[in-house]
């Protein structure tokens, strides 16, 4: 019998970083910026949070940490780090009108390097024997669950057993969906992504919308990195631990056809596909597990192809995605 009660929480925990990443990237793409720097930004978000937590934890000692500060310091560091990355991307692509693909890839190179470099330096600083930073003190605050989650059986396990960042991810995704779909700001943002010329003519400040959406998107994506380290791995940073989840988050944006609210369930599905290989009984055949790991990517391709085949207007990417906007060019 397939063990759903243990599978679903793990799938959701895998899905949360992807949800953060894809919500952030959706906002960014709606403004017409294709930010391929998301994997790097998630690394930077994670390591910034880790650095904040590390210095707080070593300064005061794990025993007398204040709960509020233990959460607020990593959170602020993470937001600041990913905000700066978003700002850099915007400055290059919006103000200097650089090519978005190249800028994004450079940002990813830089971000992943930044994460692993400072991660490596902290490991050396902490003088630990294993190549990892362990922040169990901070992590215990991030992992705090509702007190009733232990006593409510399978219901508690499936719905209540997560840290606050997991619920925040769902909340942010729903709020983002609401803003995009139902508010004037969202309408303007979509206009900027679809046709910046028209938006500009209508008096919308194109650059400002692009800046705000991309920076906000980066900050949301950065939280995904923080969640992964503080909650999913219980506060253990090791080099390259985050892996290729950033790219998967970008894939998820297409999978959800640019709708953050769809992203909530889709990210859990992706999380499930990501860990499916651990749950399919394959005996001693290790090789076949590697093939199961293809699942999320294959599914993304299928969705990509199907949505382009059906060619429905509401399922298409923003029309000016990836193109720089220059007012004097018509």
Q: Does residue 17 interact with another protein by CB under 8 A?
A: no
* Among 2-10, 160-168, 201-209, 287-295, the segment contacting another protein (CB under 8 A): 287-295
Q: Which is nearer to another protein, 182 or 244 (CB)?
A: 244
Which range of residues in 15-23, 70-78, 199-207, 304-312 is near another protein by CB under 8 A? 304-312
Nearer to another protein, 55 or 110 (CB): 110
Q: Does 233 bind another protein (CB under 8 A)?
A: no
Residue 123 and residue 132 in contact, taking contact as beta carbons nearer than 8 Å:
yes
- At its nearest, how many Å lie between another protein and the CB of residue 279? 17
Among 128, 197, 205, 308, which residue sits at the site for another protein (rule: CB under 8 A)?
308
Given 311, 312, 314, 330, the residue binding another protein (CB under 8 A): 311
Stretch that binds another protein, among 106-114, 137-145, 199-207, 268-276 (CB under 8 A): 106-114
Taking the complex as a whole, the smallest distance from the CB of residue 287 to another protein amounts, in Å, to 4
Q: Report the alpha-carbon distance of residue 44 to residue 205 in Å, rounded.
A: 29
* 34 touching another protein, by CB under 8 A: yes
Q: Does position 185 bind another protein by CB under 8 A?
A: no
Restricting to residues 239-268, name those near another protein by CB under 8 A: 239, 244, 247, 250-251, 254
Which member of 87, 98, 269, 275 binds another protein (CB under 8 A)? 98
By CB under 8 A, tell whether 317 contacts another protein.
yes
∠ CA 127-129-132, nearest 5°, is 80
Counting contacts by CB under 8 A, is residue 287 touching another protein?
A: yes
Query: What minimum distance in Å lies between the beta carbon of 227 and another protein?
Result: 22
Nearer to another protein, 13 or 34 (CB): 34
Contact region for another protein (CB under 8 A) — 9-17, 87-95, 138-146, 259-267?
87-95
Does position 150 interact with another protein (CB under 8 A)? The reply is no
Which C-beta is closer to another protein: that of 72 or that of 257? Answer: 257
Q: Which of 42, 73, 106, 134 binds another protein (CB under 8 A)?
A: 106
In Å, what is the CA distance from 33 to each residue of 17, 74, 199? 21, 28, 15
Smallest distance, Å, CB 129 to another protein? 16
Other beta carbons within 10 angstroms of residue 294's beta carbon come to 12
Contact (CB, 8 A) for 119 and 44: no
Rounded distance between C-alpha atoms, residue 120 and residue 128, angstroms: 11
């Amino acid at each position: 019998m397939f063990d759903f009660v243990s599978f679903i929480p793990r799938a959701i925990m895998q899905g949360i970083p992807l949800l953060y990443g894809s919500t952030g990237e959706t906002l960014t793409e709606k403004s017409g910026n294709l930010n391929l720097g998301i994997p790097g930004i998630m690394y930077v978000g994670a390591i910034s949070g880790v650095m904040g937590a590390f210095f707080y934890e070593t300064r005061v000692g794990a025993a007398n940490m204040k709960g509020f500060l233990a959460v607020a310091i990593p959170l602020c560091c993470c937001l600041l780090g990913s905000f700066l990355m978003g700002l850099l991307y915007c400055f290059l692509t919006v103000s200097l009108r650089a090519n978005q693909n190249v800028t994004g890839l450079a940002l990813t190179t830089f971000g992943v390097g930044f994460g692993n470099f400072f991660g490596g330096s902290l490991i050396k600083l902490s003088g630990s024997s294993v190549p990892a930073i362990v922040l169990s003190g901070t992590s215990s605050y991030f992992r705090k669950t509702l007190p009733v989650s232990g006593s409510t059986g399978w219901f508690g396990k499936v719905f209540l057993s997560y840290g606050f960042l997991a619920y925040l991810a769902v909340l942010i995704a729903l709020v983002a969906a609401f803003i995009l779909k139902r508010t004037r700001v969202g309408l303007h943002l979509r206009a900027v992504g679809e046709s910046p010329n028209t938006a500009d003519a209508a008096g919308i400040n194109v650059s400002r919308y692009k800046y705000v959406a991309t920076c906000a998107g980066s900050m949301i994506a950065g939280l995904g990195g923080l969640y992964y380290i503080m909650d999913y791995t219980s506060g253990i940073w090791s080099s390259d631990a985050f892996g290729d989840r950033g790219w998967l988050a970008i894939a998820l944006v297409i999978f959800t056809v640019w709708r953050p609210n769809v992203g909530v369930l889709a990210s859990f599905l992706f999380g499930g596909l990501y860990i499916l290989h651990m749950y399919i009984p394959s005996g001693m055949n290790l090789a076949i597990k590697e093939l199961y790991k293809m699942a999320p990517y294959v599914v993304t391709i299928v969705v990509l192809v199907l949505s382009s085949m059906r060619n429905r207007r509401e399922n298409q990417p923003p029309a000016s995605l990836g193109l720089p906007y220059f007012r004097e060019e018509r």
